[in-house]
Structure 1
Amino acid sequence: MRVFHELTRRSGIHGAPHPVRRSSYDKARLVGRHVTGLVTRSPFVGHYDSLVVPHPRKPNGVEIYTDELRAALGPSALILDSGINGTPLPGSRNLDFFTSAAGALHGRSADDRGVTEALRDLTGISVPIGALVAREVPKHLRLRALYRTLLRRQRIKTVYVVVAYFHQHIVGAARDLGIRVVELQHGAISPFHLGYSYPGRPVVADQPDELWCFGSYWTTVADLPAGMRTEVVGTSYLPRATEKSPNRVVFLSQGTVGAELLHVAESVVKEHPELEVMFRPHPSEHATDYTVPAGVQLSTGGSTLDLLASATYQVGVSTTALFEGMALGCRTAVADLPGHEYLEPAIAQGHAVLMSHPRQLLSAPLCATPEVYYAPSDLLRLTADQAE
């Protein structure tokens, strides 16, 4: 995944997907929180049956992917929530001090000449493979050993994790001990997503046992690793339907293609001056990243889901919010930019239109079967059945 991001960034195809910016003051505060957390947020204190690792992003303070699960599990669950790239949930624990320390201790850079040259011959781009290996592999091994100790001491029976491909040290530790691992879907899955797509379904190390999905579409759209099972658990985090603003268009940005998408928004304003065109930055982006052209409104406050619930049209490239917008009754146009391939199946089924010219926006379709993407929540039944 890191090599892929480096390739797309260095080639100019994409920008950084989730840029993190910290001042010297921010870094000093982070170190202070790490040291305090050693005493006040240690996960080795107490007794639990399960471990939940939420998503770091929490719109309006709510972590939507595990909210219902955490309520169902109650005090039997240890909530391990990092504060490195977000605000941890109240009452959660973390091992942030050790995570940062493990990443700061680099090994010697590996001799990567053969791999680097082969990759450069294939793509025309040089990526420092040796430096990535020297940093990531020792970090993984140190954290894997630490989490084995935690899971064994707490006698954890099930690990629930969001974004498992960025927590492979936790997944690997659980698999070392024969502990069941469940990943909760957090975003769009496609044949082009390196976290989930393994053509031919080979055996892949350090993968979850199960993937709990929003809807049936996600269970078959990509070849998951061998042995990984899927369950449709639906979701309860989407807001209720509301009255639509007939001329409202929401452009859903993401760091990889935000600047290009803003140009598309400008072209829509020129083609359709009667429309209310709103540009919504991704939560990991900053409003200051953009100089918004005349006629385009920059939307930064409130909930993206509530905004989509009020919109008639939505435009994006590969963001998960496009699928959420379909479930909220938006007519969907996919901008013809790098990454639109994520939406090819939805386009083929008539749930969205690939937009190469702004005049196509007004012919964007509604999704007739949104439940295939977001089914009603069935998580409580599933957790109850498995507890028995």
Structure 2
Amino acid sequence: MRRPSLAQLIEIENDPAFLAFRCPRSGALLWPLVRNQFLRQLISDLYYQQAPLVSAVPAVPRRQALGALARVLGHNVRQGRMRGEVLVVGTGAGHFQREGLWFNRITDYLAQESCADTVTVEGVVDWHVPHPRWNQRVAYWLPWQGAITVAGRLLPRDRHVATARELLEYARQRASHLLGLTIADSNMDMLVGMLARKLARLPVMQHAYRRLLERVKPRLVLLEQACYGDFAPFNQIAREMGIRVAEPQHGMVSGGHDAYCYAPELRESEAYRACLPHDFLGYGAWWNSQINVPVQKWVIGSPHYSEQRRSMASTETAQTDILLLGDGIEFSLYLALAQELAHLLRGRYRIVLRPHPLERAEVSARFPEGRAGEVLIDSNRDIYSSFASAHAVVGEVSTGLFEAQGTAGRVLLWETDKARFSYPQHPFSGFADAQALVEALGEPQSERSGVLAEEIWAPDWVGNYRQYLAQALAAPG
């Protein structure tokens, strides 16, 4: 039996009943709060071999968390109250050092080119509070995130669990009836617990978001991951307050990405659209054409790609590496491919494995010497430093494949079922296994697709972004 595509999976939610499941207290839609996790549980069972896409939240390391919290509280107090026309909200992923200062490749370019009074609010990743910062108008979300997390652990009651189970059992029945897919009871219990905690903490989360927006008083919010269901409460509150919300593209989007593709029933629902941002600011027209999220799509370009390509134009580095890109989930799968490749190539190239940012700390702890046998573990925080010495960049599901085009020697897609699910359309040459990859490396390069570079990476991101700002700030929320 052929495994389903995302277009087939989202038929599960193509049912008006999903718009009827609501929070008894606030009336908020429940499906956005668990949609990504439910779909990813199905995707995980179908396409991931060695590690799950969805797992229970790990215990918080108290010493690291308290240390980060103390630093953040001191920083936020020193910043005082900040107001601005533009509020940038980021996860805190994407930091690298730029001229000795920490710079966020996802949000700081936009903050730099926005109004002078732009405010950034950022999460903390791996308990690392970046200091000193390039962007000086930053506050950290960790104190509120801590309060939200604690509320999710202490407040759930039987009624939250019952409400969560009713929705998820309905979704599981739809998956079974339409596609013959099952979810194990243990995984269902995990999803039910996850949604019950989100439901219990929803009032605290809504209060926190409203308080943030009341204090900063923005007219426009640039919200990383705004199309993800967990940010539905933020989008709803911003809309109620007449504030426009846009998601700047931060990585790969495609016809296989659950956060950016929706069933017709949801796309046509005014209530569901209120859970989403107003705008999506894409890297290029090609990306925008891959997704059907019911928001206004703008072509902006990728600030980090453009700036890094410009800085690399004058430097020449010997391209001696085969660079493999991890996906953040199944590191051992990529390590096995890298080790087999090292054996087959026998020193003709350096084999370098780059962990995804989500797994960087764990992999570093596992391989403190920076290598696994003949395979080097890439420690560069910025991927473009690794591209410079790459004869070839190899990956399965990674934005880095697109970023490597025109920078590395060549780009090759590991054509697994997972890759075909994630990229229903793509511009890459592919290979099936390590032996096929070695053979491909010896063949002349060929263009597989007629997709133009400008359709993937639009030029003049500064001009495009300023044009967007002028229109967004002039329009009502």
Name the TM-score, length of structure 2 as normaliser: 0.71
In structure 2, which of residues 182, 188, 191 is the aligned counterpart of residue 127 of structure 1? 188
Deviations 1:73-94 (A, max 9, x none): 2432121112365436543123
The answer (yes or no) to whether the contact 2:225–2:247 under 8 Å persists in 1 is: yes
In structure 2, which of residues 157, 163, 168 is the aligned counterpart of residue 115 of structure 1? 168
Give 3-state SS (helix, strand or coil) of 1:372's partner: helix
Distance 1:222 1:67 in 2: 25
Q: Cα distance 1:295–1:33, how it changes in 2: closer, same or farther (>3 A)?
A: closer
The answer (yes or no) to whether the contact 2:394–2:414 under 8 Å persists in 1 is: yes
Name the TM-score, length of structure 1 as normaliser: 0.85
Distance 1:376 1:296 in 2: 36
Distance 1:303 1:46 in 2: 30
2:378 aligns with 299
Distance 1:270 1:136 in 2: 47
2:423 aligns with 343
Q: Cα distance 1:5–1:25, how it changes in 2: closer, same or farther (>3 A)?
A: farther
- After TM superposition, give the deviation of residue 231 of structure 1 in Å: 1.0
Distance 2:391 2:293 in 1: 34
1:214 aligns with 2:291: no
- After TM superposition, give the deviation of residue 214 of structure 1 in Å: 0.8
Give 3-state SS (helix, strand or coil) of 2:412's partner: strand
Distance 2:247 2:395 in 1: 26
Q: Cα distance 1:295–1:150, how it changes in 2: closer, same or farther (>3 A)?
A: closer
2:113 aligns with 72
Give 3-state SS (helix, strand or coil) of 1:56's partner: coil
Query: Superposed, which structure 2 residues align to 1:303-382 within 5 Å?
Result: 303-337=382-416, 339-341=418-420, 342-346=422-426, 349=427, 351-356=428-433, 357-362=436-441, 363=443, 365=446, 369-382=452-465
Query: Superposed, which structure 2 residues align to 1:1-388 within 5 Å?
Result: 1-6=36-41, 13=49, 15=51, 23-33=61-71, 35-36=73-74, 39-41=77-79, 45-57=81-93, 58-60=95-97, 61-83=102-124, 85=126, 86-87=128-129, 90-105=136-151, 106-108=155-157, 109-111=160-162, 112=165, 115-116=168-169, 119=172, 122-125=181-184, 126-128=187-189, 129-164=191-226, 165=228, 166-200=230-264, 201-203=267-269, 204=272, 205-225=274-294, 228-238=295-305, 239=308, 240-241=312-313, 242-243=315-316, 245-273=318-346, 274-285=348-359, 286-289=363-366, 293-301=372-380, 303-337=382-416, 339-341=418-420, 342-346=422-426, 349=427, 351-356=428-433, 357-362=436-441, 363=443, 365=446, 369-384=452-467, 385-386=470-471
Question: Which 5+ residue runs of structure 1 have no aligned equivalent?
Answer: none
Give 3-state SS (helix, strand or coil) of 1:245's partner: coil
- After TM superposition, give the deviation of residue 188 of structure 1 in Å: 0.3
Query: Which amino acid is the alignment partner of residue 201 of structure 2?
Result: K
Deviations 1:64-113 (A, max 9, x none): 12222211224321211123654365431234322211221232251227
Deviations 1:201-242 (A, max 9, x none): 4433411111001111111112112xx111111123232344
Distance 1:64 1:149 in 2: 27
The answer (yes or no) to whether the contact 1:249–1:313 under 8 Å persists in 2 is: yes
The answer (yes or no) to whether the contact 1:16–1:255 under 8 Å persists in 2 is: no
- After TM superposition, give the deviation of residue 174 of structure 1 in Å: 0.6
Query: Which amino acid is the alignment partner of residue 116 of structure 2?
Result: P
Q: Cα distance 1:127–1:59, how it changes in 2: closer, same or farther (>3 A)?
A: farther
Q: Cα distance 1:130–1:365, how it changes in 2: closer, same or farther (>3 A)?
A: same
Deviations 1:260-290 (A, max 9, x none): 1111112222322212211111122222346
Percent identity over paired residues? 20
Give 3-state SS (helix, strand or coil) of 1:340's partner: helix
Distance 2:109 2:141 in 1: 24
Q: Cα distance 1:46–1:276, how it changes in 2: closer, same or farther (>3 A)?
A: closer
- After TM superposition, give the deviation of residue 329 of structure 1 in Å: 4.1
- After TM superposition, give the deviation of residue 192 of structure 1 in Å: 1.9
- Relative to its length, the structure with more helix (as a share) is 2
- After TM superposition, give the deviation of residue 143 of structure 1 in Å: 1.8
Distance 2:195 2:222 in 1: 27
Query: Which amino acid is the alignment partner of residue 219 of structure 1?
Result: N
Distance 1:91 1:156 in 2: 14
Distance 2:349 2:454 in 1: 29
Deviations 1:136-185 (A, max 9, x none): 12333322233224324543211111111243332222112221111100
Distance 1:94 1:143 in 2: 16
Q: Cα distance 1:337–1:41, how it changes in 2: closer, same or farther (>3 A)?
A: farther
Query: Which amino acid is the alignment partner of residue 96 of structure 1?
Result: L
Give 3-state SS (helix, strand or coil) of 1:328's partner: coil
Give 3-state SS (helix, strand or coil) of 1:376's partner: coil
The answer (yes or no) to whether the contact 2:328–2:357 under 8 Å persists in 1 is: no
- After TM superposition, give the deviation of residue 354 of structure 1 in Å: 3.7
Q: Cα distance 1:333–1:382, how it changes in 2: closer, same or farther (>3 A)?
A: closer
- After TM superposition, give the deviation of residue 294 of structure 1 in Å: 3.6
Give 3-state SS (helix, strand or coil) of 1:75's partner: coil
Question: Which 5+ residue runs of structure 2 have no aligned equivalent?
Answer: 1-35
Query: Which amino acid is the alignment partner of residue 341 of structure 2?
Result: V
* Aligned residues: CA RMSD: 3.1
